[in-house]
Structure 1
Amino acid sequence: MNELTVTAASLRSLVGRLVRRLRESAPPGDLTWSQVAVLGYLVRDGAMTVTELADAEGVRTQSMGATVASLQASGMVTGEPDPNDGRKTRYHATEACLALVSANRAMRDDWLLQAMESQLSQEEQQQLTQLVPLLQKLADYSS
């Protein structure tokens, strides 16, 4: 096994652990992780149909329909007729959703900042800052 293969496996494992720690730092409250994922798409990408959300999450349209219906009932999303095809409904995040997502992100950012400040030296913090563009390139890669 070559060095880059070992690095890839280590990075995958570490990113997974970091994601779990970030999730633990800001639990979803009454929402399921599936609902949180849907809200993330709507906040990042704007209004989407149930079919588009199902494709993005890799689930059946019927399953996504139930998730969206529960989010709509809780006031997190609202639907409007698609301007290009009135038979479809495009869902978007409500103000309540935006506030919840913003608070959740702030908690995760605070946890990560505290971890960086308490666990890394100034030099290590600078090294990490310099690595962010490289990690961004990896995150943006699609094969």
Structure 2
Amino acid sequence: MNDSTTLPDSDAQAVMATAVELRVVLGQLRRKLREQGNVGDLTPSQIAVLRRLDGGPATVTALAKAEGVRSQSLGATVAALETAGLVAGNPDPADGRQTLWALTPACREWLRVSRAAREDWLFRAMNVRLTAAERADLARAVDLLKRLIAD
């Protein structure tokens, strides 16, 4: 039974309640991890662009499309990141009229340190707040979450 239409009403309600609670808890965990990572005064849009560029250089047009915003709006975000020394642009070898934006070495180091801080906080919180059995349960839950997001 993979579809809510095939579940009895009580099961469907329980699955929906779990879905709602999971969404809320994951949002809270994300905010807590963001606090630990020291994102400073970056906006959510700027953080999203940095995450995308962490996967490799991209044009403003490609970034805007990926984020579902207009190129002009994203251009302002990239400009602010450039001013902060977090991204740098070079001419696109495939189309010299466009600029390929990439993370600067300083930004890559900042991201590395930020990730390490978040992972350290999570490691410590898991060790202090969870029993060994609960940590094992959490590991199994991570596997289940991976299945939820698999294509």
So what's the TM-score if we normalise by structure 2?
A: 0.85
Instruction: List per-residue Cα deviations over 1:81-126 (Å, max 9, x = no partner).
Output: 2222221111111100100111111111111111111111000101
- 3-state DSSP of counterpart to 1:28: coil
Q: Tell me, which stretches of 5 or more residues in structure 1 are unaligned?
A: none
Q: Tell me, which stretches of 5 or more residues in structure 2 are unaligned?
A: 1-11
Equivalent residue number for residue 146 of structure 2: 136
> Of the candidates 95, 98, 106, which is equivalent to residue 88 of structure 1?
98
Q: CA RMSD in A?
A: 1.5
Instruction: List per-residue Cα deviations over 1:14-67 (Å, max 9, x = no partner).
Output: 111111111122231243332222111111x20111111112222221111011
Structure-2 separation of matches of 1:57 and 1:102: 23
Q: Which amino acid aligns with 1:37?
A: A
Equivalent residue number for residue 74 of structure 1: 84
Q: Which amino acid aligns with 1:131?
A: A
Equivalent residue number for residue 7 of structure 2: none
> Of the candidates 41, 55, 59, which is equivalent to residue 52 of structure 2?
41
Equivalent residue number for residue 3 of structure 2: none
- Tell me which structure has the larger Cα radius of gyration: 2
Structure-2 separation of matches of 1:134 and 1:124: 15
- 3-state DSSP of counterpart to 1:42: helix
- 3-state DSSP of counterpart to 1:86: strand
Moved over 6 A (4+): none
Name the count of aligned residue pairs: 140
Structure-2 separation of matches of 1:90 and 1:128: 40
Equivalent residue number for residue 60 of structure 1: 70
- 3-state DSSP of counterpart to 2:95: coil
Residue 146 (structure 2) pairs with residue 101 (structure 1): no
- 3-state DSSP of counterpart to 2:102: strand
